[in-house]
Amino acid sequence: MVIGAAGGSKITTSVAQIIVKHLWYGIDLKRAMDEARVHHQLMPNVLVVEDNFKIEYEKLLHQIEKIGHNIEFKYPADGFCAVTSISHVNRGNVVGVPDIRRKTGGVGYV
């Protein structure tokens, strides 16, 4: 797997979330890239969450607020980094996935 991103402090958390979902949990690369992301960098004490994350994890977010964390909801294309990933799939085929959060594309040559 090869993964790269642009987007400042959110690069590490975005890349880590995609790697864990794809390699550890076996989620399809496109789905892992498209799923909602979260980001927390300790200071300030704010958990930044994509809008579509709150739909699935509303109870969890409420519990996080109860223990004192502030939560900020953002539209996916507003403030989260752009990631591009390439990974092997069955029978040695390679798949590349650009991020839906940015108007980008990709060109590949093998």
SS (H, E, C) the chain: CEEEEECHHHHHHHHHHHHHHHHHCCCCHHHHHHCCCEECCCCCCEEEEECCHHHHCHHHHHHHHHCCCEEEEECCCCCCCEEEEEEECHHHCEEEEECCCCCCCCCCCC
**What's residue 80's pLDDT?**
81
The verdict on whether residue 8 carries a ligand-binding annotation is: yes
Print the domain residue range for 89: 2-98
**What's residue 104's pLDDT?**
65
Instruction: Specify the CATH number for the domain of residue 45.
Output: 3.60.20.40
**What's residue 108's pLDDT?**
62
Question: What is this structure's pTM?
Answer: 0.85
Q: How many domains does the chain contain in total?
A: 1
In a domain, 103, yes or no: no
Task: Give every residue of the chain whose pLDDT is below 50, as ranges.
Answer: none
**What's residue 110's pLDDT?**
57
CA distance 95 to 106: 11
